[in-house]
A and B are shown apart, each in its own frame.
Chain A
C-alpha cells in the first residue's frame, strides 16, 4: 500500500505540462508599422516604415518605400532619406538637443501619422566593469550550453537624474556581432521609489550571452522617459505570457496618431566598451 501511495504522489506532482500545438488564427487587414529609436550615439539613425504581417508567419517585416518621413523640433525640420527599402535615415550631421520635443511625421498612401517624444540627457556610465559568474548559480540545462569554465558579465554604476518621470533602457552585446542585441536581453526601469539614487554594480548579462576572456563587450544605456518605458513594459507583458495570472492580451500602446502601430523614441544615450581580460 505504501508503494502505491508513493507512486500516486509522484504521478500527481508531475502531471502539469506544456506542449506545442498547431492552431489557425484569424488574420486582420494589415496596418502601417512605424518604429523609430533615434539617439545621439555616433551611428546611423533611421526610422522604419512597414506593414504588419501574419502572426504565425516569419517575423520579417514587410517594409514599404515611398513614404515621406520628417523629423522636426521647435526650430528645425529634417527630411529622412530612404536607404534600403523601408529604412529612412537622418542626415549624418543631425544632432539632438536635450529637453527638446521632437515630432516625427510620416506620410504614406495619403495618410499622415505623427508622434512626439522629448529627448532626455542620459546619465554617464560609471565604473563599467565585469564579473565572473559562478556556474553553480545556473541550472544544469544552462550549464550544458556553456563551453567554458569561466564566463563573465558586464556591470556598471550610474547616478539617477533627480526628478521623477525618468526611465532607462540598458543592453550589452558582443562587439562586432548582433549577438544579444534584442529587447529580450535588454533591461529597463523607471525611477519610481528610487528617484535621485546612485546605483552600483548593475548586471545585465545572462547565461545565454556570456562573455569569455578576450571578448569585447559593448554596453549601451538610454534615457527613454517613463512613457517609453511603459511601451516596453506593454511589450514585455505580451511576449512573456504563460502564467495563469497574466492580464488579458491587449495591443501595446503607440504614440502615433492616424492608426499606425509602433513607437517613436528619441533619447540621449551612452555607450562604452570593455575588454574581458
Chain B
C-alpha cells in the first residue's frame, strides 16, 4: 500500500511539473534586502497581481517565482518597509535584487509579525502553530532588570509556558524543556540561559529574526518532539559602519557591524554582566572585604561574517561563545563553577539555477561545565561535556508558483562525556573516575512540497526519515525487569539502530478573503534528551541519547485552527485546538540519582504522555497602539508504570489557564510605553498528606504526584522609553528605558516547601519562596 502511495505521489509531482512545461515560462529570482543595512529580509513578499500569485523569501532573503512569458507588475513588500513596485517584461530568466526602505510612518511601531498592511499571511499561509516576534517588539516591552530577552517574550505567546518566575526556560504544548530545539544560525544551543536560567543566551543586538514552530513542524526540522525555535543572527551592516549597545542594571552590551568590501559584511556583539562588581561594591559599603578572585559573572560573544563570491555563491561564518563563572576563594576552601555553550557555523549558499537554491551547513556545538572544589590540600574536579559536529545539505526547488519542493540530508555526531571526576592531594592526581563517553550518529533525509491546489486549498506535505546509530566502544548494562543489572556487554562499531518515518502535513482552506481554516498533523522523533529532574534545569544536567534500552521518544500531534483577519489585516485572530500523544515518554524514578551515575538508564521510567489544549490569540499589528491578548487552556498528563501507582498524573508543567495581555503605545516620537500582564494557574506540585517520625525528623508521606497546585501566578510589568530630541538630527541616537517588573509587588510562589521549626521541631510549617518582588531598572541604549 505504501508503495502505491509513493508511486501516486511521484506521478502527481511529475505530472504537475510537466503540465507546466507546455507553456513558455521564465523565472524571476533574486535577493530582497534592507536598503539601509543590507540585511537580508526573511519572509518578504513578492506578489504578481495580474496572476494573483506570489512567493516569499527564504531565510537567506532569496526568492524565485516562475511565470508565463509576459509583462508584469511585481510588488515587493515587507512589514515596516515601503512597497516597491516594478514592471518587467519576462522573456527570459531574470535576476532582480531588491532593496526596500524603511517606512517613515511606521518607524517605532511595534511589529508582531512580518506582514504588511494588505498581507493576509495569517489567513492565506498553510503555516499554523507558528509564532514570530520581531526584535523591535521585544525591545518595546518591559524586561526583568531591564535586560531585553527574546525568550521571555516568547513565553507570552499562546501554547508557551514559562518554567518559573524570571526563568528563560519554556514549555511548548505539553513538551518538556528538552523537547525544544533551540537553534542559533542552525547550531543547537544546549543550555540557552545564563545565571541559572534568569537570562537567555541571546543578545538582542545580535539577533535578526526568530520563529517558533509549536506544531506543523516542517520536515527540514527534526530531533525534538515539541518545538523548534529558529533564531538567526544579523549578517551585519553591508552599507556602513554601525553599532548599538546599552548599559543596564546588571550588564552592558555592545554590537558593531560593518561592510567587508562591496560584497560582504560582519557583525560582532558582546555582553558582560557585572553582578560580581556590584556585589563587591555592596560588601565594601557594608564594611566587609572580598577576595579579588571571587567571581560571579557571565559573558557572551556573537560573531558573524558573510561574503558574496558571485551571484551564485555566498558564504557565511558565524559563532557564539557564552560562559558563566562562579568562583569563591577562602583561606581553606575555594571553588569554581563554570559552564557555557560554544557554536560555530559555516554555510555556503549556492544557486544551481534560478529555480534551485541550495545551502550546505557545517556546525559545531559544544556545551560543557566544570566544578572545581579545593579544601586544604585536597582537590576535586568534575567536568562534563556534550559535543556535536553536523553536516546539512538543503535544497529548495521552486518548480512553479504552485509547487515549492524542499529536500535535503542531515547528519549529526553526538559525543557525550557525562562526567569525569579527578581528585588530587597536594596537586598530585589521586583518583580518576570517568563515566564512559557515548557516541551516536543522528541522520535524516527529508522532502517537502508546498502545493497550491486551488485558490481555496493549499497543502504542505512532507516526510522525514530519521535514524539513530549508537556507536561503540561502549559498555552497556543490560537491565532486568526490576532495573537491576543483569549483565554487561561490550560493543564496538555500530551496535544499535533506530529509524522512524515522520510524516508532516499542513492544510489550508480559505473560507473567504479574510478567514480560513487550517489543519495539521506531524510526527516527531527525539533521540537525545536531558536527564533533569528538578523544578528547573541546572547547568549540571546531562544529555543522553537513545540506546538499546531507551527507545526514541515519539510524538504525534494534530491541530485544527480558525484564522480571521479584521480591519484590513491590521487585527488578526486565531483559534487553534491540538492533541498530542507522546510515546516512550521519559520520567525518573523516585529519588533518582542522575549525576555521575554510570547506570543512568536504571533511573529512567518509560511510559506515555498526552497533551491537549485550546489557544486563542488576538493581536493588533500596526498603529500607535499594538499588542496582543493570548489565552491557553491546556492539560498535560503522564502515565508511567511504577510512578503514581501507574495512574495518569499531571506533568509538573501542567498549567491549565494561561493568559497574557501585552501592549505598546507610541505616545509621541520621543516617548513610548510598554506593558504586559500575565496570569496562569500555579504549577502542579506534590504536597505531603501525612508524616511519621524517624530519628527526630518528620518524614513526609505523599499520595498522588502533582495533584496539588501552587497559588495562581499573576504579574504586571511596565516600561517607558524616552528618546532624546537630538536623535532626530544626529547619527548617534540614544534612549532611556525605565522598566518596572512586578509593578504591584506580588509575591508569586516559586515553590512551597515544608520545614520543621529549629527551636521546636515538633512544629512543621509551610514556607513560600518568591524569586522577585518589585524590580525597577534603568537601561541606557545607544545606536549609531
A193 vs B756: C-alpha distance when bound (angstroms)? 33
> Does B534 reach chain A (CB closer than 8 Å)?
yes
Closest to A178 in B: B696
A272 vs B649: C-alpha distance when bound (angstroms)? 50
Nearest-neighbour CB distance to chain A for B604, whole angstroms, equals 13
Are A52 and B764 touching (Cβ within 8 A)? Answer: no
> Does B694 reach chain A (CB closer than 8 Å)?
yes
Are B769 and A18 touching (Cβ within 8 A)? Answer: yes
Are B590 and A262 touching (Cβ within 8 A)? Answer: no
B690 is contacted by which of A22, A53, A58, A249 (Cβ under 8 Å)? Answer: A53
**Interface residue stretch chosen among B16-24, B172-180, B625-633, B773-781:** B773-781
Nearest-neighbour CB distance to chain B for A246, whole angstroms, equals 6
Nearest-neighbour CB distance to chain A for B294, whole angstroms, equals 15
Are A242 and B772 touching (Cβ within 8 A)? Answer: no
Q: Quick one: given A193-B431, A235-B699, A249-B688, are A242 and B767 in contact (CB under 8 Å)?
A: yes
Q: Quick one: given A11-B775, A58-B762, are A28 and B433 in contact (CB under 8 Å)?
A: no
Are A9 and B278 touching (Cβ within 8 A)? Answer: yes
**Interface residue stretch chosen among A38-46, A99-107, A181-189:** A181-189
Residues on A with C-beta less than 8 A from B756 are 59, 239
Are A8 and B778 touching (Cβ within 8 A)? Answer: yes
Chain A interface residue count, Cβ-Cβ cutoff 8 angstroms: 66
Could you mark each residue 745-784 of chain B with 1 if its beta carbon is under 8 Å from any beta carbon of chain A, else 0? 0010011111110100111111111111111111000000
Residues on A with C-beta less than 8 A from B652 are 248
Residues on B with C-beta less than 8 A from A26 are 687, 689, 703, 707-708
Residues on B with C-beta less than 8 A from A61 are 692-693
> Which of B689, B705, B778 has the most CB atoms of chain A within a 10 A radius of its CB?
B689
Could you mark each residue 234-274 of chain B with 1 if its beta carbon is under 8 Å from any beta carbon of chain A, else 0? 00000000000000011000000000000000000000000
Residues on B with C-beta less than 8 A from A230 are 591
Are B766 and A184 touching (Cβ within 8 A)? Answer: no
Residues on A with C-beta less than 8 A from B693 are 35, 59-61
A181 vs B747: C-alpha distance when bound (angstroms)? 37
Contacts across chains A and B counted by CB atoms under 8 Å: 205
Nearest-neighbour CB distance to chain A for B172, whole angstroms, equals 21
Residues on B with C-beta less than 8 A from A17 are 747, 769-770, 773
Are A250 and B534 touching (Cβ within 8 A)? Answer: no
Are A55 and B535 touching (Cβ within 8 A)? Answer: no
A55 is contacted by which of B538, B689, B707, B777 (Cβ under 8 Å)? Answer: B689
Q: Quick one: given A9-B249, A35-B692, A52-B691, are A247 and B777 in contact (CB under 8 Å)?
A: no
Residues on B with C-beta less than 8 A from A58 are 762-763
Residues on A with C-beta less than 8 A from B755 are 242
A193 vs B423: C-alpha distance when bound (angstroms)? 10
> Does A147 reach chain B (CB closer than 8 Å)?
no
> Does A88 reach chain B (CB closer than 8 Å)?
no
Within 8 A of A (CB), among B488-540: 533-536, 538
A115 vs B694: C-alpha distance when bound (angstroms)? 17
A27 is contacted by which of B538, B591, B689, B698 (Cβ under 8 Å)? Answer: B689
A274 vs B544: C-alpha distance when bound (angstroms)? 50
Could you mark each residue 176-203 of chain A with 1 if its beta carbon is under 8 Å from any beta carbon of chain B, else 0? 0000011110100000010000000000
Could you mark each residue 31-74 of chain A with 1 if its beta carbon is under 8 Å from any beta carbon of chain B, else 0? 10101010000000000001011111011110000000000000
Are B688 and A19 touching (Cβ within 8 A)? Answer: no
Are B766 and A244 touching (Cβ within 8 A)? Answer: no
> Does A93 reach chain B (CB closer than 8 Å)?
no
Are B766 and A56 touching (Cβ within 8 A)? Answer: yes
Closest to B695 in A: A183
Q: Quick one: given A56-B765, A235-B699, A244-B534, are A253 and B775 in contact (CB under 8 Å)?
A: no
Closest to A51 in B: B692
A83 vs B761: C-alpha distance when bound (angstroms)? 25
Q: Quick one: given A26-B703, A59-B756, A246-B534, are A15 and B697 in contact (CB under 8 Å)?
A: no
A214 vs B686: C-alpha distance when bound (angstroms)? 47
Are A15 and B591 touching (Cβ within 8 A)? Answer: no
Are A251 and B701 touching (Cβ within 8 A)? Answer: yes
Are B590 and A25 touching (Cβ within 8 A)? Answer: no
> Does B164 reach chain A (CB closer than 8 Å)?
yes
Closest to B163 in A: A244
A182 vs B761: C-alpha distance when bound (angstroms)? 10
Are B692 and A247 touching (Cβ within 8 A)? Answer: no
Residues on B with C-beta less than 8 A from A144 are none
A98 vs B753: C-alpha distance when bound (angstroms)? 41
> Does B702 reach chain A (CB closer than 8 Å)?
yes
Closest to B749 in A: A21
> Does A238 reach chain B (CB closer than 8 Å)?
yes
A261 vs B778: C-alpha distance when bound (angstroms)? 55
B762 is contacted by which of A33, A60, A184, A234 (Cβ under 8 Å)? Answer: A60
Closest to A231 in B: B694
A244 is contacted by which of B164, B433, B765, B767 (Cβ under 8 Å)? Answer: B164
> Does A233 reach chain B (CB closer than 8 Å)?
yes
Q: Quick one: given A8-B777, A21-B752, A56-B765, are A35 and B690 in contact (CB under 8 Å)?
A: no
A262 vs B688: C-alpha distance when bound (angstroms)? 16
Q: Quick one: given A12-B777, A252-B699, are A244 and B690 in contact (CB under 8 Å)?
A: no
A11 vs B776: C-alpha distance when bound (angstroms)? 8
B534 is contacted by which of A28, A37, A247 (Cβ under 8 Å)? Answer: A247
Nearest-neighbour CB distance to chain B for A47, whole angstroms, equals 13
B696 is contacted by which of A183, A238, A243 (Cβ under 8 Å)? Answer: A183
Nearest-neighbour CB distance to chain A for B552, whole angstroms, equals 24
Nearest-neighbour CB distance to chain B for A129, whole angstroms, equals 17
> Does A175 reach chain B (CB closer than 8 Å)?
no
Could you mark each residue 233-277 of chain A with 1 if its beta carbon is under 8 Å from any beta carbon of chain B, else 0? 111011101111111111111000000011100000000000000
Are A12 and B775 touching (Cβ within 8 A)? Answer: yes
> Does B298 reach chain A (CB closer than 8 Å)?
no
Closest to B535 in A: A244
Are B591 and A247 touching (Cβ within 8 A)? Answer: yes
Closest to B275 in A: A13
Nearest-neighbour CB distance to chain B for A213, whole angstroms, equals 25
Q: Quick one: given A11-B775, A19-B768, are A182 and B697 in contact (CB under 8 Å)?
A: yes
> Does B145 reach chain A (CB closer than 8 Å)?
yes
Are A238 and B772 touching (Cβ within 8 A)? Answer: no
Are B773 and A35 touching (Cβ within 8 A)? Answer: no
Residues on B with C-beta less than 8 A from A22 are 766
Are B690 and A247 touching (Cβ within 8 A)? Answer: no
A54 vs B775: C-alpha distance when bound (angstroms)? 38
Could you mark each residue 3-14 of chain A with 1 if its beta carbon is under 8 Å from any beta carbon of chain B, else 0? 011001111110
A88 vs B416: C-alpha distance when bound (angstroms)? 53
> Does B588 reach chain A (CB closer than 8 Å)?
yes
A12 vs B690: C-alpha distance when bound (angstroms)? 38
Known: A20-B765, A249-B687. 20 other contacts (CB 8 A): A8-B249, A9-B249, A15-B772, A17-B769, A22-B766, A26-B703, A30-B690, A35-B692, A53-B692, A55-B691, A55-B698, A56-B754, A182-B761, A184-B697, A193-B421, A239-B756, A244-B751, A246-B534, A253-B590, A253-B591
Shortest Cβ-Cβ A-B pairs, 8 listed? A182-B696, A250-B590, A183-B695, A28-B689, A245-B534, A52-B690, A33-B692, A247-B533
Identify the A interface with B (CB < 8 A): 4-5, 8-13, 15-23, 25-28, 30-31, 33, 35, 37, 50, 52-56, 58-61, 181-184, 186, 193, 208, 230, 233-235, 237-239, 241-253, 261-263
18 contacts between A and B (CB under 8 A): A13-B282, A17-B770, A21-B766, A27-B690, A33-B692, A53-B691, A55-B701, A59-B763, A181-B695, A244-B534, A244-B751, A245-B536, A246-B535, A248-B705, A249-B685, A249-B700, A252-B699, A262-B692
